[in-house]
Structure 1
Amino acid sequence: MWDHLTEGLAVTVWEPGPQCQDEVPLLYLVRVDPERYRFSAYHFRDEGLSAPLTIQEWQQRTGASVLFNAGLFQDDYSYLGLLFKGGRSLGTKRHPHWQGLFVAEPVAPGVRKARVLDLAVDAFAVDAPPYREAAQSLMLLDRHGKARVRLTGKRAHQTVVGEDREGRILLIKTADVVALWELALCLRKGFLGIHQAMAMDGGTSSDLLIEADVLVNRGQGSEQLPWSPLVDGSGMRHIPLPSVIGALPRDKTPQPSKAPSPLKGP
C-alpha cells in the first residue's frame, strides 16, 4: 500500500520475510514520477565545497524533496564512472564493467524524463550526452529479470534505483544489511512492477532522505509512520557523501548555490 505524499511522490515499506527466504530485510521504497519531479546530480567539488556533506546538509543546500546517494567514489572522493550535471562531466571515464546508468532530463523532447539505462544494450554518447544528468553504477536486475551481480555473500546496506513498468523511478533503501544477489532475486520475485534496477554505493554510504516539509505540507507528523526513518534519520547512520542525486518538483524554482561550507578537507 503506497502512501501518497504529494502528486507524483509516494512512499511505502515492504518486509519480504518468507517470500524471500528471510534473507532480505525491510525495504523502504520511494516512488517518483519524473513528469512531476526533475532530478539533479551534485558533487561537493562542483559546488565549491571543501569537503563532502551529510545527506541532511545536502538537503538544506539543495532544497530537494528527496535525496539519495549516488554511485561509488575513490579515496580522494572522485566519482568512479560517468557523472553528469547539466550536461557537464563531473566524473571519470566510463567504468568498463558497470552497466547501470541512471539518466534524467533529456536533451531531446518527447523522451522519458528519467530512466535506468543498461549500457550492455542501451547507447549513451559521452561526447554528446542525450541526458543532462547521469550517474553510473552497478546493474542489479535487467529488463529480462536476470540478476546482474555475482553471488559473493557480501552483505551491506544498499541503495537501489529502479524503474517500474509505468516509467516511474523507484528508490529503495534497505533497513539492514543484505547481499546484492539475494536482493536482486527478491525484487524479481516479490516486486512484480519493477522493470529493471541498478545498485548505487552501499555500506555506510547508503542513504535516502525525504524532506520533512513534505509531511508538514500534508498536515501530518512522521512519528507514527513506518517509513519515518527516511524523514528523521532514526536508526540510520549518516556519513558525509561526496555525491548525491536530488528530486525536486518541476514547478519549484531551484535554490541558488550557497556559500561554500566551512568544513575542512581531509
Structure 2
Amino acid sequence: MNAVWLVFKEHFKNFYLIKRLAEFQLRLSNHSNYLGMAWELLNPGLQIAVYWFVFGLGMRSNAPHDGVPFIYWLIVGISMWFFVNQGVLEGTKAIASKYNHVAKMNFPLSIIPTYIVFSRFYGHIGLLAIVMVICYFAGYHPSIYTVQLLLYVPYAFILTAAISLVTSTLGVLIRDTQMAMQAFMRIVFFVSSILIVPPKGIVTDVMQLNPVYFLAESYRAAILYKDWYFISHWELAVYNIAIVIVLFIVGSILHVKYRDHFADFM
C-alpha cells in the first residue's frame, strides 16, 4: 500500500500545481481556435442536437420518458458524458505525450493524468450550469435534492481521474491502449442509460455495472426526479465507490512500479 499512499500524497501536496496546470492546458487546447473556449460548450451542444434528432424525434417521436420530455431527460443524463469521455481519452495519452516535457525535472508524474482530466472538468461545470438553467425554465426548479450534485459531480471527476491513472500507465507500456480505449468508450456510451433505458431485466442489470449508468441516473434524480438516488439505490452507490477505490489502488501500484522505466518504453 506504499504506492497508494505515495500517489495520494503527491496529489495532496501538489493540488495547487494541478489546478494551475489544468488552467494552462485548457487555454493551450483552445488557443488556436477563433471561438476559443466556446468550443467547450458548442461541441457538446451540437452532439446533443444530433442525438435528440435521431433518438428523440426519429426513434421515439419525441415521447416523454417517465413523464419527462425526452430533450430534458437527454441533456441531464448526457451532461457528464462529454467530460468523462474526453477525460479518459486524453488522460490515457497524458503521460506518453507529456513525459518528455518533465523527464529531466523532479516532477510528480502521477499528477499528469489528473491535471489533464481537471482541464476538462471546467467545461463540465459550465455545461452542467447551462443544463440546469434550461431545466429551470422548463419548470424543473432546484430543490433540496439538487444538493446531491455535490456528491455526484466530484464522483465523476474522481472516477475519471482514477481510470486515467490506470490507462495512462498502460498507454506508455502498451501503445495500443489508446486505440483500445477509444473503442471501449464507445461501448460504454451505448451500454449505459444516456440514450435509452431498457425494461427491467438482465439487460438493465448488466448496464448497471457500468459506472456511467450510475452517473446518468443520479444526475437525473438530482435535477429532474427529486429522488435521493444514493439512498434508494444504495447497493449501486456502494458498488461504484468500490470501483473507484479498486481503480485507484491498481493505478497507483502500476504507476509507481513502472514510472522509473517510462523512459525505456518511450
Same fold (TM over 0.5): no
Normalising by the residue count of structure 1, what TM-score does the alignment of the two structures yield? 0.24
Larger fraction in strand: 1
